[in-house]
Amino acid sequence: MLPWFRTEHARLPEQTVHDGAPVGRIALLGADLPGLRPKLLCEQGSRIKRGQAVFHDRAHPEVVFASPISGVVESITLGPRRSLSALVIRRETGHHEPDPVKMAMSSATAVRAALLANGFWPAFLTRPFGRIPAPDAAPEAIFVTVTADNPHAPDPRVVLAGQHEVFAAGLKALALLTDGTVHVCQSQGADIAAGLGDRIRGAFFSSGAASGLAGTHIHRLHPVGWGRSVWSIGYQDVLSIGRLIETGIPDCSRVVAIVGPRAKQPRLLRTVAGASLQELIREETVTGTGGAPLCVLSGSAENGRKASWLGRYHHQITLLDDAPKPVNTPERGVMARFRRASSMPAPLVPTAALERALSLDVPVVPFLRALSVGDAETASRLGCLEMVEEDLAAVSLACTSGADYRRMLRHVLDELAEDA
């Protein structure tokens, strides 16, 4: 964990929502969509409206990805094997917005069709595998994460204040998609799921990083494995689904926390999914130590990634000093080969910190060794089917080897998903 993040003097964000700076460009990112190969429904220069589909999943054409804003497709960048890198949209004003109309959501068929057509299906992630579910799939249960995964994240109760009826409409729609339970996982306080029916149940977890993760909730309430699948979804996506039901208009707004030692005033900002981070933070930063360049993370210091755009599933922006790359002075002679740093990770050393970093009840060291060598069968037997990358962020930081177990887990999950 980064030093500023664990210090007692780390500045927590003011838990009051402010309007963020106007953002003129947004992006839909392939980094948020592991395993997906897109079929483009637009091209560079196309004019599109908010909620219009811009691409769909080749394997499941019903699963569409919609634009959060009205504007012009500025660029489309593809990665290896025609996977999506980024689709950038530039906002244009003057588009006519439809009048609000309440949508009828009395059946699973109606809910499924509305979420698929309006681009909200990707809000769900499956366990196992951390993938977007198939359009005809039905989970054994749905987990709604109404918890913060670290003290610097937005307080969900602040974000939901004054919008409980809209949030409840979203929860009721989710209940139609499963014959099982909708678990509304929340921190201590009044039960925001109270009075919504027997299958929408509040579950309470104490504060703490691991207790805020969907993987912890699933592990304790409804463990999954081969042949057992549940879905998870964030509380802000449920709120967006509730707004869709109440107005018929897709709303991809987000409340994010802007934090870190380079944040002028840590606080909550209202913006839109996929927002340009450079535009959003332009008035939110301070000068770095010794003139250090700025490092912008989409996500937390523990589990974020360097980025120019707000990630689809992120509720936090972390501003840090960018650490300079070490300068290696070349050595010559026989001893140079022994002094030269290895490109391979260091040995995995069992420590108490490593045991604490993983909240799930699995044998940590054997599990990490299986991931390190790509042993998918052993990793599956030891519990990887309950995990996604965020569950191993703390482990990667605590491990003496310096290995990125999140990347290793994704490799193993993708291999297992192909064989499923």
pLDDT higher than threshold 50 for residue 336: no
> For 53-99, what is each residue's pLDDT tens digit?
999 999 999 999 999 999 999 999 998 888 999 999 999 987 777 77
| pLDDT band with cut points at 50, 70 and 90 for residue 326 | low
Q: How far apart are CA 180 and CA 142, in angstroms?
A: 8
CB atoms within 10 A of CB 246: 17
315 has a pLDDT exceeding 90: yes
Residue range 1-26: average pLDDT? 77
Mean pLDDT across the stretch 351-370?
A: 88
CA–CA distance, 269 with 19 (Å, rounded to integer): 5
CA-only gyration radius of the chain, Å: 22
What is the band of 352 on the pLDDT scale with cuts at 50, 70, 90?
Answer: confident
Query: What is the distance of C-alpha 406 from the center of its chain?
Result: 13
Per-residue pLDDT band for 3 (boundaries 50, 70, 90) equals very low
Listed range (96-100, 249-253, 309-313, 359-363) with the worst mean pLDDT: 96-100
Question: What pLDDT, in 10s, does the model give residues 153-200?
Answer: 999 999 999 999 999 999 999 999 999 999 999 998 899 999 999 999
- Report how far residue 107's alpha carbon sits from residue 28's, in angstroms, rounded to the nearest whole number: 30
Residue carrying the six token digits 């026989």: 334
Interatomic CA distance for residues 63 and 133, integer angstroms:
9
328 residue type, one letter? N
Checking phi first, is residue 402 left (phi over 0); if not, alpha (psi -120 to 50) or beta? left
Burial class for 146, CB neighbours closer than 10 Å (0-12, 13-18, 19+): buried
In this prediction, what percent of the chain has a pLDDT beyond 70?
92
Q: Which two tokens stand for residue 181?
A: 């339970």
pTM strictly above 0.85: yes
Percent of the chain with pLDDT over 90: 77
